[in-house]
Structure 1
Amino acid sequence: MLKRRDFLSAGVGCALPALGFPAIAASSREGVETAYVNAMVWDGYSAGPSMSAIGVTGDHIACVGTDAVKAQISKRTRVVDLQGAFVMPGLTDCHTHFSLASLALTELDLRSARTPRMLVDQIAARARSVTRGHWVLGTGWDADQWGGTLPDKSWLDKATGDVPVSVSRYDLHMLLLNSAALRLAGINRNTPDVPGGVIVRDRNGEPTGLLKDAAKTLVEAVIPAYSSNEINDAMRQGIALALSKGVTKVHCPELDWRTHESLLRLRAQGETSLRFYSFVPLADWERLLQQVQEHGWGDDWVRWGGLKALADGSLGSRTALFQKPYDDEHSSRGVRVHPLKDLLEWTLIADRHNFQVAIHAIGDQATHDVLDIFQTVQDKNGPRDRRFRMEHAQSMQIRDIGRFKKENVIASIQPYHAIDDGRWAVCRIGPERLKGTFAYRSIVDQGAHFCCGSDWPVAPIDPFTGIKAAVLRQTLDGKNPGGWMPEQKLTLLQALSGYTTGAAYAGFSENRMGRILPGLLADFSILDKNIFAIPAEQIDQISTLSTIVGGKVRYAV
């Protein structure tokens, strides 16, 4: 069994070499700094493990293959015997809400609340422990665990008193508040709905305590902000967690600047250990433009240049925008978070400044609208390598599926959502609309680019749970052992590519990472099982032995 000291003995500190092949030429004269040998190495594009050794110099891969690495071993080389461990390119999670999820590690986790009583008891227990002036904050409740009845403020008021409570449904698109929080936010029967959001009201017009999508801003404005140090500390915890799962890079398509600003602070202190691609709000394109003009586009540790917006909400909160009303809420088709004219205007001008635009779209009306926007921008601004992204790409009209390939739009998908939402999606939209929902295989078979992520904290930041979900599609309730909509299963290679080569393409970094090849960054994950040799049912049992980023050991058991 490999021990932590086995990996750390190979972690040689060194100055960053010049980028590209000159560093490789130097290693051929002096020998590689570290040789990882006796491994099963999957290079990221072959049908399975195809080599057994990797040579690393500085922050990049110098050579691969037993003969090539053996020829580069010199007196200065640290040799690490991996004892048959499986090695693959570092995994990229293409959709995280990193600061929010990292902060949530210290907040109330309500995923285990399987009944209304459990929900109330967990919130009440936290309310008793907070000091005066502090809020109970948390995430993870799911009304579908207890039959679908939505909670309201009356469930919480007696148990929490004057302690304000704001806890999010696990999809992050709906908040539950108690009366104390409503009072502090100034929300009452006379408060108008926020464009792009919903204040849920009872039959008398009184707020129930539920806020959907843009309406959440009403309470977020009065919740005491975390300090910069608190955010940075939480981010470090999140980084450590991601590295322990074999993740070497994350994309952060955010709707605020909190993650981005923390990343700048952390990068100023040195290497961040985990690589980041930061997105900020599409409406703030001018602010990002100023940063690029003053500071460039970042580096391999923290890179920026992406902009994100919402077209609609979520299926679980019934705010995803559909052509027709919900089957279980006939009065609603969902919510359009931003007017189409604004999304088009912002995308047009952001694209002219060479920014990458990613738009969240879940309902079949929203996905259609976003594809139309992307097509219009390409027609108006002319050809270039822009790589538009649709985040989630969850429900589509059948005729729209082929547009991803035709218009070179990347489908940024989260396979875990399929096995989660698959428990109850038919209740929301009926069997006919399911034919274009979570249609991953249909998108891939059309030849479209795609990438995979978790949506952490909505789903675990463990790519192996996502890979298993993609290839088996067994819903979390155990009711679909053969797979929910099994025709949409991905192959193992397809699923792996979503976290490696597809992810690299989605972040304009395919010439830097995503494969194990000489000249690419030395980012790879060392695992305890060969993912190609185990039953798919065991994929989520894979453990990470070590995570190498930039040629250094960033995590080891």
Structure 2
Amino acid sequence: MKCLLSCLLFLSFFTIADTKVVYNANGYTPTYSGQLQQFSTLVIKDGKVVKVGDDKLKSSFPDAESFDAEQQTLLPGLIDAHGHVIGLGNNLTQLDLRGTTSIAQIQQQLALFAKNKNGWIIGRGWNQELWTDKQFPTAADLDKVVKDIPVVLSRIDGHAIWVNSKAIELAKLTAATQAPTGGEIIRDQTGKLSGIFIDKAERLITAHIPAPSDQDVSNALTQAGQHLVSLGITSTHDAGIDKQTWQIYKQRAEQGTLPLRIVAMLSATDPALESMLRAGRYKDLNDFMSIRSVKIYADGALGSRGAALLNDYADRKNHQGLMLETQQKLEQLFTLSFSHGFSANTHAIGDKANHIVLDAYQNVFKKTGGILLRNRIEHAQIVTPADIPRFKTLKIIPSMQPVHATSDMHMAEQRLADTQLQGAYAWQTFLKQGSVVAAGSDYPVELANPFDGLYSAITRQDHNQLPAEGWRVSEALSREDALRAFTLGAAYAAHQEFKLGSLEQGKWADFILIDKDYFKVPVEDIFTITVNQTWIGGELRYQKAQEQPSE
């Protein structure tokens, strides 16, 4: 009798109105044990997964609210392990130059954008590697279109800016101005400022841009969040936030108004870093906001030749890029982070930067500990093969962005010698040695669409299926491993593998319904997959608008 009563109580627990059943799905989920599980029915209670199973499972919950998935493919919500949320939100309202193929095209877009503008014009996305001459542009190119108000256009990777003469004038810079350590000012043949400022030299200009209001930042968060959720991203790691954003994030978390889950890294360049660290780690009750790491920059980017290399750039002799911090400074930042219980996530693209960062981690681990904090190297793009095993030994997570390989492949072949590319974008090598790879996009440097990243990880080809065999294809991932990197791998990198990343009992019911079967669609169509619905914590957060029938 006692058993019967307890069984009835157990069943009644799952028959109240807040239990939901999603059925008739073509479901897939990675699992913590490593197996890929298929299912057709998902049971949710209080926003968390109760169970997944076959069609019979639905009948066990007759009073639950039910949703027919109509045989759509269901996957766990995708996690982007490296993006810039506020940058993306701003980008959606600023001048977008992504994909432009000439200075003339940019001038045309700038002229249209500048109409009726009377403040600073901000834009992003230019990439001289897409232009015929592949040369850096000049302030004079912008002056031809806009000369009375300042213009600041960030390169696609964010590691260089192109400005007009008005911006240089307002910043009171002259030919005598010297670049700070970790930065470079490009000059013309006469020594005059050309209008290009790289890495830490950007601050000579950007420090003069009016600061955004709190409402501006909050609006950018909302816009970026809505965009990400529409792409099937239910959680994102924000790689470097300032104090203003830190405050707004916590306010929005406490209000329950965050548009998606965010794992935020404090920016090591913010003057208020120590005060933010002293405030301690932060997490809300529903796992929408987590702050427990610091983002540190070691070098620049490959496209602007700021990535720090052990040997010369193949296309620029006697130049080896830029270290933005010394090893001593890196060790100080690591020690500071660890002393407050924060992990250190360090941007390193070039082989020299990766080597120095690994040395810095190793030294600090020996002196003060911190090896178990799941520290990361963000990008880990060009790594000397001998340094790759050190990631495993030092328990460093390679946080990598698959789309960078397919965006960079032609440029990388020009910038680097073959010997420098031996450990480049080496996802498969990292996986084989037992490292957990956390995948992301680095939006708005790249497009945020995670299916672009999944496609790149699997094929190492562009959208025209080139190169035919894939670029350095031995480093490509299987469909299952790629999905795992964008789900459980990313969750692990945020200490959340028991809460997110798969549809297993007790985890948050974050999932998406998509228009094609990710595991069966022809590989060349993976990047065309679109999201029909996005659910976070068992609640529908996005539904694709129905197309109106043509008359």
**Alignment TM-score, normalising by the size of structure 2:** 0.92
* 1:330 CA drift (Å): 1.1
Partner of 2:124: 139
Give CA deviations for 1:138-192 in whole Å, capped at 9, x if unaligned.
Answer: 1011111113111011111122121211001101101000000011111211212
Structure 1 residue aligned with 2:229, among 243, 248, 252? 243
1:267, distance to aligned residue in structure 2 (A):
2.2
Partner Cα distance (2:295, 2:312) in 1: 27
CA distance in 1, matches of 2:261, 2:283: 14
* Conservation of the 8 A alpha-carbon contact between 1:475 and 1:481: no
Shift, 1:301, TM fit: 0.8
- The equivalent position to 1:305 in structure 2, one of 292, 301, 314, is 292
CA distances 1:66-95 after superposition (whole Å, capped 9, x unpaired): 3674354243x2111111111111110010
Kept in 1, the 8 Å contact 2:338–2:344? The answer is yes
Residue 213 (1) aligns with residue 230 (2): no
2-structure distance, mates of 1:381, 1:416: 36
Change in 2 beyond 3 A, CA 1:437/1:258: farther
2:47 corresponds to 1:59: yes
SS of 2:210's equivalent? coil
1:27 and 1:72 in contact (8 A); partners too:
no
1:123 equivalent in alignment to 2:110: yes
Structure 1 partner of 2:242: 256
* 8 Å Cα contact 1:195/1:214 also seen in 2: yes
2-structure distance, mates of 1:27, 1:71? 15
- Cα offset for 1:125? 2.4
Aligned match of 2:275: 287
Report the counterpart of residue 498 of structure 1 in structure 2: 485
Instruction: Give the superposition deviation at 1:25.
Output: 8.2
Tell me if structure 2 keeps the 8 A contact 1:363–1:396.
yes
Q: 1:323 to 1:25 in 2, by over 3 A?
A: farther
Pairwise CA distance, 1:354: 1.5
**CA–CA distance in 2 between the matches of 1:304 and 1:210?**
34
Instruction: Note if contact 1:31-1:73 (Cα within 8 Å) is conserved in structure 2.
Output: no
CA distance in structure 2 between the aligned counterparts of 1:319 and 1:312, rounded to whole angstroms = 7
Deviations 1:457-511 (A, max 9, x none): 0111111100000010114676412211111111111111111110110000011
Q: Supply the AA of the counterpart residue of 2:251.
A: R
Contact 2:371/2:394, CA 8 A, preserved across alignment: no
2:549 aligns with none
* Equivalent position to 2:379, from 381, 392, 411: 392
Q: Provide closer, same or farther for how the CA distance between residues 380 and 24 of structure 1 changes in structure 2, counting only shifts above 3 A.
A: farther
Distance in 2 between residues matched to 1:478 and 1:123, nearest whole Å: 32
Q: 1: distance between equivalents of 2:24 and 2:392? A: 40
CA distance in 2, matches of 1:435, 1:251: 28
Q: Per the alignment, in what secondary structure is the counterpart of residue 279 of structure 2? A: helix
CA pair 354-56 structure 1, distance change in 2 beyond 3 A: same
Residue 400 of structure 2 aligns with which residue? 413
231, 240, 261: which is aligned to 1:275?
261
Partner of 1:329: 316
Deviation at 1:257, TM superposition (A): 3.4
Kept in 2: contact 1:127–1:163 (CA 8 A) = no
Question: Secondary structure of 1:61's match?
Answer: strand
Residue in structure 2 matched with residue 149 of structure 1 by the alignment: 135
CA deviations 1:190-223 (Å, max 9, x no partner) are 2121121111112222110001011111111111
Question: What letter corresponds to residue 79 of structure 1 in structure 2?
Answer: S
For 1:436 and 1:556, locate their aligned partners in 2 and report how far apart those are by CA, in whole Å: 41
Partner of 2:341: 354
Aligned residue for 1:232? Answer: 218
For the residues of structure 2 that align with 1:205 and 1:489, how far apart are their CA atoms?
A: 45
Name stretches of at least 5 consecutive residues in structure 2 with no aligned partner: 1-8, 545-551
| Map of 1:439 onto structure 2 | 426
In the alignment, is the contact (CA less than 8 A) between 1:271 and 1:301 conserved in 2?
no
What is the Cα-based RMSD across aligned positions, in Å?
2.0
In structure 2, C-alpha distance between the alignment counterparts of 1:382 and 1:49, rounded to whole Å:
38
**Cα distance, 1:234 vs structure 2:** 2.0
2:303 pairs, out of 295, 316, 324, with 316
Which one of 43, 47, 50 corresponds to residue 38 of structure 2? 50
Instruction: Specify the code of the residue in structure 1 equivalent to 2:235.
Output: K
Question: Residue type matched to 1:123 in 2?
Answer: L
Relative to structure 2, which stretch is displaced further, 413-422 or 482-491?
A: 482-491
Separation in 2 of the partners of 1:472 and 1:258? 40
Residues 93 and 454, structure 1, Cα contact 8 Å, conserved in 2: yes
> Residues 427-506 of structure 1: matches in 2 within 5 Å?
427-475=414-462, 479-506=466-493
Q: Distance in 1 between matches of 2:11 and 2:405?
A: 47
Contact in 1 for aligned 2:241/2:266 (Cα 8 Å): yes
Equivalent position to 2:410, from 423, 433, 436? 423
2:236 and 2:397 mapped to 1: Cα distance?
16
CA distance in 2, matches of 1:114, 1:211: 21
- Structure 2 counterpart SS, 1:129: coil
Number of residue pairs matched by the alignment: 530
Instruction: Give, in whole Å, the separation in 2 of the partners of 1:68 and 1:521.
Output: 23
Q: Do the aligned partners of 2:293 and 2:337 also contact (CA within 8 Å) in 1?
A: no
Contact 2:24 2:55 in 1 (8 A): no
Q: How far apart are 1:381 and its partner, in Å?
A: 2.3
Q: Is the 8 A contact 2:278 2:340 kept in 1?
A: no
AA paired with 1:523? D
Q: Retained in 2: the 8 A contact 1:513–1:520?
A: yes
**Where does residue 11 of structure 1 map in the other structure?**
none
Partner SS for 1:187: coil
Pairing 1:358-377 to 2, within 5 Å after superposition: 358-377=345-364
Please say if residues 423 and 476 of structure 1, whose CA atoms lie closer than 8 Å, have aligned partners that are also in contact: no
Deviation of the 1:264 alpha carbon:
2.3
Query: Separation in 2 of the partners of 1:222 and 1:85?
Result: 50
- Structure 2 residue aligned with 1:265: 251
The correspondence for 2:58, drawn from 59, 65, 70, is 70
Q: Residues 205 and 445 of structure 1: is their aligned pair in 2 closer, same or farther, counting only changes over 3 Å?
A: same
Greater mean alpha carbon deviation, residues 164-173 or residues 31-40: 31-40
* Code of the aligned partner of 2:525: Q
**1:258 shift after superposition:** 4.4
**Conserved 8 A contact 2:127-2:156:** yes
SS in structure 1 of the partner of residue 434 of structure 2: coil
Tell me which amino acid in the other structure corresponds to 2:42.
I
Quote the offset at 1:297 in angstroms: 3.8
